[in-house]
Every structure is written in structure tokens, then in C-alpha cells.
Amino acid sequence: MGKPTGFLDYERKDNKAAAPLERIKNFNEFHVPMSDKDRKEQAARCMNCGVPFCQSGMMINGMASGCPLNNLVPEWNDLLYLGNMEKALQMLCHTNNFPEFTSRVCPALCEAACTCGLNDIPVTCKANENAIIEYGYANGLMEPKPPKVRTGKKVAVIGSGPAGLAAADQLNKRGHLVTVYERSDHIGGLLMYGIPNMKLEKWVIDRKQEIMEKEGVKFIVNADVGKNVKAADILKEYDSVILACGASNPRDIKANGRESEGIYFAVDFLTRSTKHVLTGKKEGWIDTKDKNVIVIGGGDTGNDCVGTAVRHGAKSVTQIEMMPKLPEERAEDNQWPEWPRVLKTDYGQEEAIAVYGKDPRIYQATVKEFIADKSGKLKKVKLIKLEPKKDEKTGRINMAEIAGSEFELPADYVFIAAGFLGTQDYIAKAFGVKLDARTNVETKAGSYKTSVEKIFTAGDMHRGQSLVVWGINEGRNAAREVDEYLMGYTNL
């Protein structure tokens, strides 16, 4: 363990964030790493519990508890405390292909399950992870390590999000020849264009891509398989194929006036904003400066839209959430080590509060109508309040409209961040794979093999919309199954 009395001797500290009014002046990451002394003290708080729930990766009541990658959190925290950074890096990379990504964008399932959190404040696992991986890069420990032996087997990975990249990385390390096809102009999937720059600066992705290329992974961008690249050609050339194209069908809001100009899916808004940040070009950019913005959806993507609109200089930003406001502390039916269903005020909401003087969120409401002017441009949104009601037949709690509770808000832009429904069917049709009732690619339970010979799947395309860390988990597991398919055994 770290220091036997570490959790008593040291209070939890996190990397300091720049003040909201300062950080909204740009799209840069805004947390400042703490000193090596302070970082070691934070690692000293980790006790290597008898049952370290931080690395369990269990599902409890439909929610993840602990790291799905089973990261060896107590081990590398102890090594960080002792100053053995090289060994800490080795232990971290043993289970996680991309700590540089997860240490920036993961919601820290490990911390939510930390035993210290039962009676005190959890260990700063996520920030410690970031300190280890960035030490590795800064000290020449992340140099490319191409495999010494090649198997001669060729694998195509369709999609370069977390799942596709993890699968490619694993299979390349095994010695297979891996080519990754990405339909966008940059690799990374939602890491590149779905997560804004202030959460994950894109040079971090470029840095890892360069290493993977030097290790032998080939990347082909602007390659939309099923459209400008034929699936038949892929099947002919490669010994196996992994479909890791994400859950790319955004959930829509079917309300009157939906066709009004100024309504976009959140991923389109975030993508165009990131492209503008990277290139400086305004072509296709959705500029919310001096505009009234409404974001529909209370999750991470909705918060990212809030933070992005604030940085643009929006006149107002309002976030609409269907569900009731969560409690500030765990409810009786939400005990540790379950994921804590408590109120979270994220960076975008903090910034909106600083700029506009109030929390941007309106709870228990939904859109009733989009209202446009005579030219078809959105000018306001009619909302209606909701209340939870129990369905007597199923016992489920549904959100029902409250008659006469309609109200209107001015709106120049609406961004729909209501989640994703599943894979886009054109890629499934191109390869002839079956989809399940949730429009994910169908496989047997615990398997990644599709209904078509030599084709496998991983990530959101397989399990539905999820977290980056689950995507990496899926990619690693799919790679293991592909390796066994190709070689008759696997050592992954």
C-alpha cells in the first residue's frame, strides 16, 4: 500500500482548475498539475484495501462500479508514492492502452468505488494516472516498440474510436498487420470531434497516433467503408475484420417545428467547433456568439455543449433535463460501491454560472414545440414541465407532462444531446451482419463474433452508447477473440 496512515495524514487534493472566467477565454485544457511532493501524498492515501473495489469493473443495479479495465490502481498508486515511476507506468499500461485519454475524459469509476469514499473522500486515482502517463512521455519511456515477429495475418479495423484503436493496438502488438479505416479526416472518433478541446487537446491523440504508426499500425482516413470504400474489397484483402464504428444514430426530438433552421444534433455542433479550433476556418462553423442557446440533454455531451457555447460568447445558455434534480448526497437506495447518483455540477455548468449568474439547468421539462419566424429561423422554444408517475402495469416510473405548465424561452440555436440509439445501418448492411433489437451488432453473449464469418465487432457498435473506458475494454476483448480465431490460441 501507500503510507499506512496516508488517508488520515493527507486530505484529498486535485489538480487546480483555472477560474471559470479565465478558462473560457480559450479552448485549452485548464487543469494545472500539482507538485511531485503533493502527488506522492495523494498516492499515499491509497490503502490497497483487502477488496479493492476501484478495479472491480462490476455492474451493480445496471451501473458500473470500479474500472472496467481492471486497472491495477493500488499497485501503481503505491509505486507512485515510492517514486518508482517507470514501474508504475509499466503497471498502468499493462491493462490500459490509452491512459492519456482516460486520465482526461473518464468519469473516474475507480474513484466512485474507492473504499475511502465510504466514510471519507476517495483517492485521486484519475489525476494520479495522468501524472504517471505524462511522466512516461516526458522522460522517453513511451518510445515506439514494434513487434519483433510478424504473423503474416492481416486485420482491418473499421472505426478509430477507443474500441477500434485498442483492438488495433493489441493485435499489432501480437504481430498481426493491422489497418484502421476512419471515415473522418482525423482518427479518434468521438475522442477527436465528440469531446471538446478543453477536455482533451487533440495533440494528445496525434501523439499516440504517431507512436502506433511507428509500431506498424496503418491508418487510412476519409475512408467511409460502405460508401467510398467497398466492404467486399475489405473482406477479400483481410483475414479478419473488426467493426468498431460506434453508436452513431443520435436520438432526435420529435416536436412540431423540428425542421426550423438553427436546430442541430450536439455532435454536429461539437464537431464543427473543434474543426474551427484546429484550423481557424469558419466554414460550416456554428457561431453562438450573442445568441440564445438551448441544450437538450443533461449528460456529459450536454455539458460539453454548454461549455462550448459559453466560450463562443453566447448571450444565454439553458440546459433542459427531463429527469428530476439529483440529491446532493447518496440516497438510501444508492449505497457504496454503486455509482453515486448525486448532483454534479460540471465544468460547463460552472462556467455558465460564472458568466450568467445562475445554474443553466432546468429540470423535469421537455420540448413541446420549436417556434420559427416567417423565414423559418428558430426564435423560441415552447417547453412543458414533467412529473414522475408510476405505470401501474409495469411498475416503472415515467415522466409525464403536467397540463397547463407550458412556458417559452427565446432560442436562436438548439443542440440536441439526448444520446444515441445504435449503429448506422449502412455499415451493417455493407457487411451483412445482423443487428439486435437495440440496433447494435448482434453477437452471442460474451462474444464479439458477428453472424458473418471472420467479422467481429466492438465498442458502442456492440454494446450501445457508453464510456471511453468501456470502449477500450471492448477493443481489448475483441482483439483477444480475433487473435484466437486467426492463430488457434491467444496470448493477449
Question: Any idea what DSSP says for residue 449?
Answer: B
- Cα-based torsion angle of the residue sequence 230, 167, 164, 442 in order, rounded to the nearest 10 degrees: 70
| Model confidence pLDDT, tens digit, residues 386-400 | 999 988 888 888 999
pTM, full prediction: 0.95
| Model confidence pLDDT, tens digit, residues 184-213 | 999 999 999 999 999 999 999 999 999 999
Asked if the model's pLDDT at residue 120 lies above 90, the reply is no
- Cα-based torsion angle of the residue sequence 129, 135, 140, 145 in order, rounded to the nearest 10 degrees: 0
Closest CA to 247 of 178, 334, 162, 176: 162
Note the helical H segments in 243-392.
266-279, 300-312, 347-356
Percent of the chain with pLDDT over 70: 100
Closest CA to 388 of 344, 306, 324: 324
- The C-alpha atoms of residue 158 and residue 167 are separated, in whole angstroms, by 10
> Mind listing the domains of the chain with CATH numbers?
6-138 (1.10.1060.10), 154-248+421-487 (3.50.50.60), 263-416 (3.50.50.60)
CB 40 within 8 A of CB 79: no
Asked if the model's pLDDT at residue 360 lies above 80, the reply is yes
Confidence (pLDDT) at 86: 98
